[in-house]
């Protein structure tokens, strides 16, 4: 039964790293499907992590056991509002979306660290007192094999992330709202002609990406790091962006890609346990997600087709 | 009506002013004295010879990374991968610097050249993928950044040292450091690299404005289809633009490897030289001269900020916020143009 124990260990570690990526990648899907490139996912995660940690520290005594949930919600709301900056710049002021996203990343880190210095008088915050704990799902964890693999020692946020991916899939592909969102990203002029408010849809797309990106960063902070510093979010946002593209701008594809990237990240940690991978230098494990993304983009793993008008500002009346 | 040229000069100036004003407002909100804050920043950059030396030291790689981003942008390519190309140039220059025993006249140019080649190679890959397969260069370069980060860490640990966190120092003969400059500036880390940086700015100006290649690169940046119709090889120009851009970035790495530090160490994250290069290029309107000015401004902000906590109690990170806002304002130049035109109309 050693092999099952090993699989459940790898699976558990993968899912811990994958969960924040899933949330953030879903946010990326919303934004990019509406035609707005979001390089700023990293910054949105930073904002989410910062807000979650601060609200967790502040409201710990008020909400008690409910603190983690409250901090996740606050992080989502603040990050959605923060994403407005990207929306205003890239949709209304027609700024280059990539540049605006880069600025978001700078701005989030600057604000986070500035306020940390301001409020805690040091480079990082204190450690939070009510993080999210891993737990077993009652009854289901008694199922032989499957119970060990999927229902033992996971964080509840992981189940939420997977459920959310299916929900987002339903919203984007099975509801009128999703159809409008996609049409705005593919051919905004045609959508406008049909009476869809292009600007409104794109604002909603970017703000949803803020909410989900913030949730991703918040989950990472509350499950993995437990405090906020300059090193809390280092590149997870960009991996989430890679997951969006690797998953071909599809929510379920992004889910799969995020789990794969989580697996790749966990491998560099648990590979010492696996006889087959013991001799592979860890650097190959570390660069694997990025190399695979490039290969995917180059069309070696099926062609990835971006939304048609991704990255183009929509100017009413222009042809 | 305002001419386009005037707009191009006004937009960066207004953006910087707006950024600084926002910084002042933030300081006011948090109960600091903005005048004391900015005075501390000014003194931290120009206060004495040491601070000035450090400022020039910071400006040097910014010029080169700014040139790298600007050069690619002239051909319509956004090279976010400058960060990774800096890493590759850094590691290559240090590698040559520690493993050969040569006279300086050969060793130093060889180390610098190696950095340029390594950076160019790191730019070549996304350039080729863009030209041949149409893959978006932004995503590929982001991925290349991480590959460079982990690769260089692994090289430092396994190839250039015996599991240590940093390499040994580069040989005297490959070093850009200068006792003469250091003594003059109370032992700041200023080095001869700024000569290389200024020289490269001239090289960029020359290539872009005075050669056929430069004309073709700009033409591809304006309109790929028209360029192709006019008989230019668009693919070749895209690859070339990324290669030259990467070479500039590699040189920025050499400035750190041969000048500022003299070694390469394991890095937990990015140096931000490359990302700041994006801001520099944007603010400098993608011209060689503009990049020098913008790099100087950012160098002053970054180094001056270090003095802000001690002299005025303001956290250093305020400057990061100011820089981010400046990028926003430059990127949203449409808004600034619109406001200027509106004022113009009202004034009539």
Distance from CA of A270 to the nearest CA of B (A): 18
Residues of A in contact with B330 (CB under 8 A): 99
Instruction: Give the distance between the most distant pair of CA atoms in chain A.
Output: 66
Are B2 and B90 contained in the same domain? Answer: no
pLDDT tens per residue, range A162-181: 999 999 999 999 999 999 99
Q: Is residue B106 a contact partner of residue B100, using CB atoms and an 8 Å limit?
A: no
Report the SS3 class of residue B297. helix
* Co-location of B297 and B335 in the same domain: no
Range A189-210 average pLDDT = 94
Contact A93 B332 (CB under 8 A): yes
Flag whether B38 is in a domain: no
| Mean pLDDT, range A147-176, rounded to an integer | 90
Across the interface, of A100, A231, A281, the residue whose CB is closest to B268 is A231
Neighbouring residues of B302: CB distance < 8 A, sequence distance ≥ 6: B58, B276, B319
| pLDDT at A6 > cutoff 80 | no
- Predicted ipTM? 0.86
Asked if residue B88 lies in contact with residue B155, where contact means CB atoms within 8 angstroms, the answer is no
Kindly state the DSSP code that residue B169 receives in the 8-state scheme.
P
Residue B304's CB: how many other CB atoms inside 10 A? Answer: 26
- Does residue B170 fall inside a structural domain? yes
Residue B235 to residues A13, A144, A279, A300, B232, Cα–Cα distance (Å): 43, 58, 40, 20, 9
* B158 lies in the same domain as B21: no
Pair (B198, B338) in one structural domain: no
pLDDT at B201 over 70: yes
| Mean of pLDDT values over A137-148 | 75
Contacts of B138 in chain A (CB under 8 A): 37, 39, 98
Q: Worst-scoring range by mean pLDDT, A234-248, A279-293, B263-277, B293-307?
A: A279-293
- Give residue B147's Cα distance to chain centre: 20
More confident call, A136 vs B295: B295
A153: pLDDT strictly greater than 80: no
Q: Which of B320, B325, B333, B337 to mutate to test the interface with A (most CBs of A within 10 A)?
A: B320
Task: Tell me, yes or no, whether B198 and B144 share the same domain.
Answer: yes
- Comparing CB atoms, the residue among B147, B318, B334 nearest residue A114 is B318
User: What is the DSSP code (8-state) at residue B172?
Assistant: G
Which chain A residues touch B333 with a CB distance below 8 Å?
A: 95
Q: Which of A44, A286, A35 is nearest to B143 (CA)?
A: A286
- Answer with the residue of higher pLDDT: B84 or A279: B84
- Mean pLDDT is highest, among A8-12, A64-68, A292-296, B196-200, for B196-200
Check whether residue B120 and residue B238 sit in a common domain: yes
Lookup result for tokens 């404005």: B209
List, as one string, the DSSP characters of B248-261: HHHHHHHIIIIIIS
Question: Do B140 and B158 have their domain in common?
Answer: yes
Domains and CATH numbers, chain A: 2-297 (1.10.3470)
A293 touches chain B (CB under 8 A): yes
A163 touches B: beta carbon within 8 Å: no
Looking at chain A from residue 90 to 149, which residues have their Cβ under 8 Å from any Cβ of chain B? 93-96, 98-100, 102-107, 109-111, 113-114, 117-118
Q: Is it the case that residue A303 has pLDDT exceeding 60?
A: no
Q: How close, in Å, is residue B335 to chain A by CA atoms?
A: 6
Residues B118 and B247 placed together within one structural domain of the fold: yes
Top residue of A82, A93, A225, A234 to mutate, by most chain B CBs within 10 Å, is A93
Burial B103-125 (b: 16+ CB within 10 A, else e): eeeebbebbbbbbbbbbbbbbbb
A86 → chain B, closest CA residue: B328
Question: Following DSSP, what letter does each residue of chain A receive, concatenated?
Answer: -HHHHHHHHHHHHHHHHHHHHHHHHHHHHHHHHTT---TTHHHHHHHHHHHHHHHHHHHHHHHGGGHHHHHHHHHHHHHHHHHHHHHIIIIIS---HHHHHHHHHHHHHHHHHHHHHHHHSSSSPPPPSS-PPPBPPTTGGGSTTHHHHHSSSB-HHHHHHHHHHHHHHHHHHHSHHHHHHHHHHH-HHHHHHTT--HHHHHHHHHHHHHHHHHHHHHHHIIIIISS--TTSSSSHHHHHHHHHHHTTT-HHHHHHHHHHHHHHHHHHHHGGG-GGGTTS-HHHHHHHHHHHHHHHHTTTTS-----TTTTPPP-TT--
Measured distance CA(A118)–CA(B49) in Å, rounded = 31
**B124 and B10 both lie in a single domain:** no
Q: Could you read off the pLDDT of A40-55 as tens digits, one per residue?
A: 999 999 999 999 999 9
Cβ atoms A284, A32 nearer than 8 A? no
More confident residue, B184 or A72: A72
Partners of A135 in beta bridges: A154
pLDDT tens-digit series, residues B32-82: 999 999 999 999 999 889 999 999 999 999 999 999 999 999 998 989 899
Whether B39 is covered by a domain: the verdict is no
Q: Is B321 in contact with A114 (Cβ distance < 8 A)?
A: yes
* Cβ pairs bridging A and B (under 8 Å): 128
Nearest chain A residue (CA) to B128: A298
Q: What percentage of chain B exceeds 70 in pLDDT? A: 99
Confidence of residue B1 (pLDDT cuts 50, 70, 90): very low
A312: confidence class by pLDDT, cuts 50, 70, 90? confident
Q: Are residues A106 and B317, on separate chains, in Cβ contact within 8 Å?
A: no
Asked if the model's pLDDT at residue A296 lies above 80, the reply is no
A301–chain B Cβ distance below 8 A for any pair: no
Please answer yes or no on whether A297 and B318 come within 8 Å at the CB atom: no
Same-domain check for residues B325 and B189: no
Q: Which residue of A lies nearest to B157 if distances are taken between CA atoms?
A: A283
- pLDDT-derived band at A268, boundaries 50, 70, 90: low
Helix (H, G, I), strand (E, B) or coil at B265: strand
Helices assigned H by DSSP within chain B: 4-29, 34-46, 49-74, 82-99, 104-133, 137-154, 179-184, 193-210, 212-222, 224-229, 234-254, 273-283, 288-305, 308-312, 318-331, 333-347
Nearest to A246 by CA among B135, B160, B295: B135
Instruction: Select from B138, B147, B327 the Cβ nearest to the Cβ of A106.
Output: B327
More confident residue, A102 or A214: A214
In a domain, B44, yes or no: no
How far from B335 is each of A108, A157, B15, B281, B306, CA to CA, in Å?
A: 22, 41, 11, 20, 32
Among candidates B92, B123, B124, B122, which has minimal Cα distance to B110?
B92
* A242: nearest CA partner in chain B: B139
- What's the gap between Cα A127 and its chain centre? 23
Question: Phi and psi dihedrals of A270, rounded to 5?
Answer: -95, 0
Distance CA A222, CA A72 (A): 9
- Boundaries of domain holding B98: 50-305
In the predicted structure, residue A24 carries a pLDDT above the cut 70: yes
Same domain for B343 and B288, yes or no, is: no
In the 8-state DSSP scheme, what is residue B191? B
Scan for tokens 């290029």, then name that residue: B281
Chain B residue with Cα closest to A295: B140
Nearest to A290 among B146, B153, B327 (CB): B146
Which tops the pLDDT comparison, B246 or A312? B246
| Phi, psi at B262, each rounded to 5° | 85, 5
pLDDT of B196 over the 70 cut: yes
pLDDT averaged over every residue in chain A: 87
Interval A200-224 mean pLDDT: 95
Question: d(Cα A129, Cα A112) in Å, to the nearest integer?
Answer: 20
Average pLDDT, chain B: 91
**Quick one: pLDDT at residue B269?**
82
* CA B309, B314, B317, B320 torsion-angle sign: negative
Between the alpha carbon of residue B79 and those of residues A101, A288, B87, B105, B122, the distances in Å are 14, 22, 14, 32, 11
Q: How many domains does chain B have?
A: 2
Instruction: Say if CB B81 and CB B214 are below 8 A apart.
Output: no
CA distance A109 to chain B (A): 8
Q: What are B92-101's pLDDT values in tens digits? A: 999 999 998 8
d(CA A168, CA A182): 13
> Tell me, what's the pLDDT at A11?
84
| pLDDT > 90 in chain A, percent | 49
CATH classification at residue B280? 1.10.3470
**What is the Cα–Cα distance from A102 to B145, expressed in whole angstroms?**
14
What end-to-end distance do the CA atoms of chain A give, in Å? 64
CA distance A7 to chain B (A): 26
pLDDT at B246: 97
Q: Report the b/e string of A95-116 with b at 16+ CB within 10 A.
A: bbbbbbbbbbbbbbbbbbbbbb
The model's pLDDT over B215-228, given as tens digits with 9 standing for 90+, comes to 999 999 888 889 99
Let me know whether B269 and B234 are in one domain: yes
How far is it, in rounded angstroms, from Cα B249 to Cα B83? Answer: 8
B145 pLDDT more than 70: yes
A193 touches chain B (CB under 8 A): no
- Neighboring chain A residues of B142 at a CB cutoff of 8 Å: 39, 238, 241-242
Q: For residue A96, which residues of chain B lie inside 8 Å, CB to CB?
A: 78, 331
CB contact set of B231 (below 8 Å; sequence gap of 6+)? none
Q: Is B244 domain-assigned?
A: yes
Q: pLDDT at position B257, please?
A: 94
* Distance separating alpha carbons of residues A131 and A117, to the nearest angstrom: 22
The band of B296, judged by pLDDT with boundaries at 50, 70 and 90, is very high
Whether residue B224 is contained in a domain is answered as: yes
Residue A263 above 90 pLDDT? no
């Amino acid at each position: 039964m050693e092999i099952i124990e090993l699989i459940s260990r790898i699976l558990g570690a993968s899912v811990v790293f994958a969960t924040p990526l899933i949330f953030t990648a879903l946010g990326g899907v919303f934004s990019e499907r509406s035609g707005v490139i979001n390089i700023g996912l990293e910054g949105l995660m930073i904002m989410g992590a910062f807000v979650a940690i601060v609200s967790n520290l502040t409201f710990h005594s008020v909400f008690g056991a409910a603190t983690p949930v409250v901090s996740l919600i606050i992080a989502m709301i603040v990050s959605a509002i923060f994403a407005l900056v990207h929306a205003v710049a890239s949709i209304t002021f027609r700024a280059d979306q990539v540049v605006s996203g880069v600025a978001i990343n700078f701005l989030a880190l600057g604000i986070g660290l500035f306020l940390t210095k301001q409020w805690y008088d040091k480079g990082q915050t204190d450690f939070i007192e009510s993080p999210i704990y891993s737990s077993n799902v009652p009854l289901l964890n008694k199922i032989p094999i499957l119970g060990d693999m999927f229902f033992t020692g996971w964080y509840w946020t992981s189940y939420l992330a997977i459920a959310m991916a299916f929900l987002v899939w339903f919203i984007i592909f099975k509801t009128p709202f999703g159809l409008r969102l996609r049409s705005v990203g593919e051919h905004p002029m045609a959508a406008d002609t049909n009476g869809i408010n292009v600007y409104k849809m794109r604002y909603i797309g970017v703000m949803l990406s803020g909410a989900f990106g913030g949730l991703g960063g918040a989950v990472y902070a509350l499950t993995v790091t437990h405090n906020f510093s300059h090193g809390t979010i280092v590149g997870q946002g960009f991996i989430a962006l890679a997951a969006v593209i690797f998953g071909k701008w599809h929510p379920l594809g992004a889910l799969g890609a995020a789990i794969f990237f989580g697996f790749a990240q966990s491998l560099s940690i648990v590979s010492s346990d696996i006889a087959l991978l013991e001799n592979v230098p860890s650097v190959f494990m570390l660069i694997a997600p990025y190399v695979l993304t490039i290969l995917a983009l180059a069309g070696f793993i099926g062609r990835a087709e971006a939304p048609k008008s991704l990255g183009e500002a929509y100017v009413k009346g222009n042809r | 009506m305002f001419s386009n040229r005037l707009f191009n000069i006004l937009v960066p100036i207004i953006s910087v002013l707006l950024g600084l004003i926002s910084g002042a407002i933030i300081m006011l909100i948090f109960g600091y004295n903005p005048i004391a804050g900015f005075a501390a920043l000014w003194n931290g950059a120009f206060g004495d010879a040491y601070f000035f030396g450090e400022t020039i030291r910071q400006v040097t790689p910014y010029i080169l990374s700014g040139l790298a981003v600007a050069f690619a942008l002239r051909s319509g390519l956004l090279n976010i991968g400058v960060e990774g190309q800096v890493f590759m140039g850094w590691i290559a220059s240090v590698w040559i610097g520690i493993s050969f025993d040569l006279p300086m006249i050969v060793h130093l140019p060889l180390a610098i050249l190696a950095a340029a080649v390594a950076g160019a190679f790191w730019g070549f890959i996304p350039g080729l993928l863009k030209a041949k397969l149409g893959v978006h260069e932004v995503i590929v370069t982001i991925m290349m950044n991480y590959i460079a980060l982990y690769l260089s860490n692994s090289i430092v640990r396994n190839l250039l040292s015996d599991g240590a966190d940093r390499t040994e120092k580069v040989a005297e003969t490959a070093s850009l450091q200068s006792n003469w400059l250091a003594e003059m500036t109370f032992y700041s880390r200023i080095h001869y690299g700024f000569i290389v940086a200024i020289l490269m700015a001239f090289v960029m100006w020359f290539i872009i404005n005075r050669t056929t290649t430069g004309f073709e690169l700009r033409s591809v940046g304006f309109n790929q289809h028209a360029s192709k119709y006019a008989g230019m090889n668009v693919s070749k120009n895209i690859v070339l633009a990324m290669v030259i851009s990467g070479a500039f970035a590699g040189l920025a790495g050499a400035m750190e490897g041969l000048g500022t530090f003299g070694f390469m160490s394991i890095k937990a994250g990015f140096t931000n030289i490359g990302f700041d290069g994006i801001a520099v290029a944007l603010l400098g309107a993608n011209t060689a001269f503009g990049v020098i000015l913008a790099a100087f401004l950012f160098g002053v902000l970054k180094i001056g900020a270090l003095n802000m906590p001690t002299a005025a109690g303001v956290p250093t990170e305020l400057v990061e916020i100011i820089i981010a806002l400046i990028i926003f304002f430059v990127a949203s130049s449409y808004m600034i143009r619109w406001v200027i035109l509106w004022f113009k109309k009202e004034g009539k």
